[in-house]
Chains A and B, each alone.
Chain A
Amino acid sequence: MISLRGVSLVYPNGVRALDGIDLEIRKGDFVFLVGHSGTGKSSLLRLLYREMLPTGGEITVDGIRVDRLRRARVPMLRRHLGVVFQDYKLLTDKTVWENVAFALQVTGAHTKDVMRQVPRCLDLVGLSHKSRMYPGELSGGEQQRTAIARALVNNPKLLLCDEPTGNLDPANTTEIMELLGRINLKGTTVVVATHNQAVVDRMRRRVVRLEDGRIVTDEERGYYFLGLGQDQLLSG
């Protein structure tokens, strides 16, 4: 699903955000990207949906060479993946329903597809009963679920989440992570960048750890801290 070979990213100000990243993510995987702030997690995600171009290396997402993708083709890539952010990025003057529908409407989808997909996604995230509400009337968790519904409305094979629980309390965090888990069970590849230790340790999924723009460890069923569960860390 995702393949990075020797990917590096240097910002115009000279900061080396990523340095020789090699990473393979298979279809249907659930992967955590962990590391301190500024270690390149978000930069890595941005490369995947081509918000940025790498300075060097090859990036393939769902068979598309993202690093060579022509600008005019970028929308086609974006339609095949969903992106979720810490700050939800919802439109405050549109209802939940309209926010989710927006993603389809602006890609020129037929009304009958909108009428079919929006209820399906709202149902999936459990917000069917709040579809007429505005984001300002929702809790943080509900807003993030709206954002996830919007990310899924195109039926993407890949869901990229950049600190999806960064603004949420533990209860809402759990709710969101369970939702992401369910989405993954339906076959969608999920990549989550986070520095929420509790989330990573509870889920026990593949953990890719970044430090100073390099991958330092990559564990199949990992913890937030290298080789250690929370219990061991606390007791040791």
Chain B
Amino acid sequence: MKSEGTISLDWGKINFFLGEVLRNFTRNAGMQATAIGTVAVTIVLLGAFLYARASLAHVAGEVMSQITISVYTQPDATAAQEDALRTAFAKDDRIVSSEFVPKKQGLRELRERMKGQIDTSILTENPLPDKFRIKVRDPEQVPAVAARIRKLPGVQNVDYGRDVVQRLLQLGAVARRAGIGLIVLFVLVAGIIISNTIRLTVFARRREISIMQLVGATNMYIRMPFICEGLIDGALGAALALGLLALARMTLLPKLSLALPWLQLNAARVDVGALVLELVGAGAAVGVVASWIAVGRYLRT
């Protein structure tokens, strides 16, 4: 192995190498197609799930962002106490805004909301206390902020749709965890499929491999065509999956939004370029690792 110290492109070498990769790939065309297809289906499922999760997160976010904390003052609260509350809200940087709703306005709003359902004219006096309507910057901090306000003097009660908030927060956490679990699972499935395909090619070429070893090819060199094969499997699978997902988005999504108008499906925006790079890159990476392991097992024996 003489090296002249300069790196020059040796087209004969490159041709030979690409020829080997191509032969690997075409020898087991059926198996390659199966591998690519299965990887694609796996990624489509993953993509559909991630999309659903993003939509759900968006809807949940919308709901959460509309959540306000209603702080009801004690009926005998003094103006000084209400002023103190106002400054307390202003000082807390978790709170975006606070709005004072005097009980007259509260009754008006209640009448507005209950129009035709309850005859509010039977009310002889205003049963409502004064209240503050508070918006919190981060929905996750709503429970904590509410708990703090409850302890302030002059506060009678705090209401923020506790159950709804907690459900949504839980849902978000579950979706995140399930998402991570599913990604790991899908990566494993894709890896195992590619690994098995490569093992078949390795088996089909065991004679060539033994000759390569005999004439002094390094393990690295023997590995390379198989690594490339895995890389192609993974990347093509991911590309195919992206095509299918794009197709689904174009054809299915309009129908889906007609069927479920309350779900803002279109709301989840994706950076297409980044997604393509990520998925194809991830597919290729899984392919490389899987085939590395598959060939490694063979070379060690």
Q: Mark A79-96, 1 if CB is under 8 A from B, else 0.
A: 100010000010100000
- 8 A Cβ contacts from B209-233 to A: 210-219, 221-222
Chain B residues lying within 8 Å of A176, measured Cβ to Cβ, are none
Contact B211 A107 (CB under 8 A): no
Size of A's binding interface in residues, CB under 8 A: 24
- In the bound complex, how far is the Cα of B210 from the Cα of A78, in angstroms? 12
Main SS class of interface, B: helix
| Min distance, Cβ A77 to any Cβ of chain B, angstroms | 7
Closest to B27 in A: A93
Q: Which of B11, B12, B217 contacts A106 (CB 8 A)?
A: B217
Contact A75 B13 (CB under 8 A): no
Contact B13 A107 (CB under 8 A): no
- 8 A Cβ contacts from A46-93 to B: 49, 72, 74-79, 83, 89, 91
Contact B12 A150 (CB under 8 A): no
Kindly state whether residue B10 has any CB partner on chain A within 8 Å. Answer: yes
Evaluate whether A107 and B1 lie within 8 angstroms (CB atoms) in the complex, with A91-B207, A91-B208, A114-B12 already known: yes
Kindly state whether residue B262 has any CB partner on chain A within 8 Å. Answer: no
Chain A residues lying within 8 Å of B216, measured Cβ to Cβ, are 74-79, 107, 154
Chain B residues lying within 8 Å of A37, measured Cβ to Cβ, are none
- In the bound complex, how far is the Cα of B215 from the Cα of A150, in angstroms? 9
- In the bound complex, how far is the Cα of B292 from the Cα of A218, in angstroms? 47
Evaluate whether A108 and B215 lie within 8 angstroms (CB atoms) in the complex, with A91-B207, A91-B208 already known: no
Main SS class of interface, A: helix
Kindly state whether residue A102 has any CB partner on chain B within 8 Å. Answer: yes
- 8 A Cβ contacts from A121-165 to B: 150, 154
Chain A residues lying within 8 Å of B210, measured Cβ to Cβ, are 89
Contact B1 A108 (CB under 8 A): yes
| Min distance, Cβ A61 to any Cβ of chain B, angstroms | 13
Contact A105 B13 (CB under 8 A): yes
Contact B214 A108 (CB under 8 A): no
- In the bound complex, how far is the Cα of B218 from the Cα of A72, in angstroms? 8
Contact A89 B1 (CB under 8 A): no
- In the bound complex, how far is the Cα of B16 from the Cα of A106, in angstroms? 9
- In the bound complex, how far is the Cα of B11 from the Cα of A115, in angstroms? 13
Evaluate whether A108 and B11 lie within 8 angstroms (CB atoms) in the complex, with A83-B214, A150-B215 already known: no
Closest to A76 in B: B216
Contact A154 B215 (CB under 8 A): yes
| Min distance, Cβ B216 to any Cβ of chain A, angstroms | 3
User: Which of A49, A76, A106, A115 has most B Cβ within 10 Å?
Assistant: A106
Kindly state whether residue A228 has any CB partner on chain B within 8 Å. Answer: no
Closest to A110 in B: B10
- In the bound complex, how far is the Cα of B213 from the Cα of A108, in angstroms? 13
Contact B215 A107 (CB under 8 A): yes
Contact B214 A89 (CB under 8 A): yes
Kindly state whether residue A197 has any CB partner on chain B within 8 Å. Answer: no
Q: Which of A72, A103, A110 contacts B215 (CB 8 A)?
A: A103
Kindly state whether residue A111 has any CB partner on chain B within 8 Å. Answer: yes
| Min distance, Cβ A129 to any Cβ of chain B, angstroms | 23
Q: Which of A74, A102, A109 contacts B1 (CB 8 A)?
A: A109
Q: Which of A83, A89, A91, A108 contacts B221 (CB 8 A)?
A: A108
Q: Which of A78, A110, A115 contacts B214 (CB 8 A)?
A: A78
Interface of A toward B, CB cutoff 8 Å = 49, 72, 74-79, 83, 89, 91, 102-103, 105-111, 114-115, 150, 154
Known pairs A79-B216, A89-B210, A107-B221 / 16 extra A-B pairs, C-beta < 8 Å? A74-B216, A75-B216, A75-B219, A77-B216, A78-B215, A79-B1, A83-B214, A91-B211, A102-B211, A102-B215, A106-B217, A106-B221, A106-B222, A107-B1, A108-B13, A110-B2
Cβ contacts A to B, 7 pairs, < 8 Å:
A79-B215, A91-B211, A103-B211, A106-B212, A107-B1, A108-B1, A154-B215
Interface of B toward A, CB cutoff 8 Å = 1-2, 10-13, 16, 207-208, 210-219, 221-222
